[in-house]
């Protein structure tokens, strides 16, 4: 049964969706929700609002529905590579219109006194689906989303600075200055991660003057690789960043860091990780290869740990920051409540007029 042809009912539409899912390789409902989020993000929807809940997607495929969100159905169809996603939304509108007409038709043609138990109000109360359903990615007030992004970026910079201080205090042959960069790049995008990298090195230079701002190029490289590669993997259906991505970031960082260490610091940048260079000295030529291998032996485990920690931190951080922004909104809301109540009290009340032909009891 095609997406447009067939019986005009939500059960038939759900059956067609199940057939479309089967034709797409039967992806899980979680994966479909991820794909829908990607479709909406491509249209400019904020990433924090783009992805629907798994249960919402599951309910769309379920029979026995009396209402469906046409925009969500169209996004699911597009996520499952349907040739004409808009036709699915149009079909939802036609089915809902037919249902509304069938509910209102007895009121217009039958004598209301003959059927005193029929009350049109409960059936007509839900209203039209496309305009009332909150699930479509309609434009929303950008202030909370923007505030959430800024709070997350600030937290990422603080997390990087804490990592730098921990390494300086413990002397471990790691860096831990890219955990926050990984969080920003994976959650907000590559250039948000790059902004966190630049801010981290700016504050690090103010706190620790002996640090070199040249290594900001290494951190920016990490942000761009994390962000762009993860974006590509998500478009291909990946649900979590793989371990290989973190190792690739470590390799790219070493490629960028080696010329800086070799040309500016003669192979040793003053970090405790440079002490491992003694393992390779005199065994491998030329010397820049020794610098590269020394940095790689610390960069890859450092980026692996940073990436794994970031993946674990992201959902917790988003929940905490979202709760903070919502609490701020609720704290600001009561200030306007008295004015709204006064305005409502001054608004004239409108009498409810019964439909034509209905008897008033």
pLDDT at 100: 82
Task: Compute CA 208 distance to the chain's CA centroid, rounded to the nearest angstrom.
Answer: 35
Render each residue's pLDDT in the chain as its tens digit; 361 residues: 444 444 568 888 898 999 998 888 888 888 898 899 899 988 888 888 889 988 889 889 988 888 889 899 999 999 998 888 899 999 888 988 888 887 776 544 444 444 444 444 444 444 444 444 444 443 333 333 677 788 889 999 999 999 999 988 888 888 889 999 999 999 999 999 999 999 999 998 888 877 788 899 999 999 999 999 999 998 887 888 899 999 999 999 999 998 988 888 766 555 555 555 555 555 556 777 888 888 888 899 999 999 999 999 988 888 888 788 777 777 765 544 454 455 545 555 544 444 445 444 4
Q: How big is the chain by its Cα radius of gyration, in Å?
A: 29
pLDDT at 4: 41
Q: How far apart are CA 274 and CA 294, in angstroms?
A: 7
Q: How far apart are CA 110 and CA 119, in angstroms?
A: 12
Of 147, 101, 149, which is closest to residue 124 (Cα–Cα)?
Answer: 101
Contact between residue 48 and residue 145 where contact means Cβ atoms under 8 Å apart: yes
Sequence-distant (6+) residues with CB within 8 A of 268 are: 261, 274, 277
Of 224, 167, 230, 172, which is closest to residue 198 (Cα–Cα)?
Answer: 224
138: left (phi over 0), alpha (psi -120 to 50) or beta: beta
Which tokens sit at 75?
């996004």
Sequence-distant (6+) residues with CB within 8 A of 155 are: 180, 183, 317, 321
Residue with tokens 């959650």: 187
SS3 content of the chain, % helix, strand, coil (to 5): 70, 0, 30
Of 277, 315, 280, which is closest to residue 187 (Cα–Cα)?
Answer: 315
Which tokens sit at 354?
């019964």
pLDDT at 173: 80
pLDDT at 322: 77
pLDDT at 304: 95
pTM of the model as a whole: 0.54
Q: How far apart are CA 360 and CA 216, in angstroms?
A: 77
Peptide bond preceding 275: is omega within 30 degrees of 0, i.e. cis? no
Q: How far apart are CA 72 and CA 55, in angstroms?
A: 13
Query: What are 27-31's contacts with CB under 8 Å, separation 24+?
Result: 27/80, 27/237, 29/54, 29/57, 29/58, 29/61, 30/54, 30/239, 31/237, 31/239
pLDDT at 101: 80
Of 148, 178, 185, which is closest to residue 162 (Cα–Cα)?
Answer: 178
Q: In degrees to the nearest 10, what's the CA dihedral of 49, 52, 55, 60?
A: 140
pLDDT at 262: 82
Q: Which helix (H) or strand (E) holds 148?
A: helix 142-170
Of 186, 156, 215, 155, which is closest to residue 307 (Cα–Cα)?
Answer: 186
Of 16, 19, 47, 24, which is closest to residue 34 (Cα–Cα)?
Answer: 47
Q: How far apart are CA 124 and CA 126, in angstroms?
A: 6
């Amino acid at each position: 049964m095609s997406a447009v042809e067939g019986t005009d009912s939500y059960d038939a539409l759900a059956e067609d969706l199940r057939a479309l899912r089967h034709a797409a390789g039967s992806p899980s409902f979680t994966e479909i929700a991820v794909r829908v989020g990607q479709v909406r993000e491509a249209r400019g929807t904020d990433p924090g609002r783009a992805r629907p809940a798994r249960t919402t997607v599951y309910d769309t495929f379920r029979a026995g529905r009396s209402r469906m969100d046409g925009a969500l159905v169209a996004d699911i169809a597009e996520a499952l590579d349907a040739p004409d996603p808009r036709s699915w939304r149009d079909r939802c509108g036609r089915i809902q219109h037919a249902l509304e007409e069938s509910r209102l038709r007895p009121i217009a043609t039958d004598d209301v006194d003959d059927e005193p138990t029929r009350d049109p109000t409960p059936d007509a109360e839900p209203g039209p689906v496309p305009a009332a359903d909150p699930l479509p990615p309609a434009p929303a007030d950008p202030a909370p989303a923007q505030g959430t992004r800024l709070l997350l970026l600030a937290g990422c910079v603080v997390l990087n600075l804490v990592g730098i201080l921990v390494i300086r205090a413990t002397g471990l042959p790691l860096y831990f200055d890219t955990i926050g960069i990984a969080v920003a790049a994976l959650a907000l995008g590559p250039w948000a991660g790059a902004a966190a990298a630049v801010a981290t090195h700016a504050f690090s230079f103010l706190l620790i003057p002996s640090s070199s701002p040249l290594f900001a190029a290494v951190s920016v490289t990490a942000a761009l690789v994390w962000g762009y590669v993860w974006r590509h993997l998500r478009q291909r259906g990946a649900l979590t960043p793989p371990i290989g991505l973190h190792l690739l970031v470590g390799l790219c960082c070493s490629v960028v860091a080696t010329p800086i260490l070799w040309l500016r610091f003669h192979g040793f940048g003053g970090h405790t990780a440079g002490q491992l260079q003694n393992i390779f000295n005199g065994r491998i030529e030329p010397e820049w290869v020794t610098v590269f291998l020394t940095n790689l032996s610390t960069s890859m485990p450092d980026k692996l740990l940073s990436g794994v920690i970031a993946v674990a931190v992201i959902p917790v951080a988003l929940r905490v920051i979202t709760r903070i922004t919502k609490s701020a909104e609720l704290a600001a809301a009561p200030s306007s409540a008295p004015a709204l109540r006064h305005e409502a009290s001054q608004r004239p009340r409108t009498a409810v007029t019964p439909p034509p032909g209905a008897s008033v009891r």
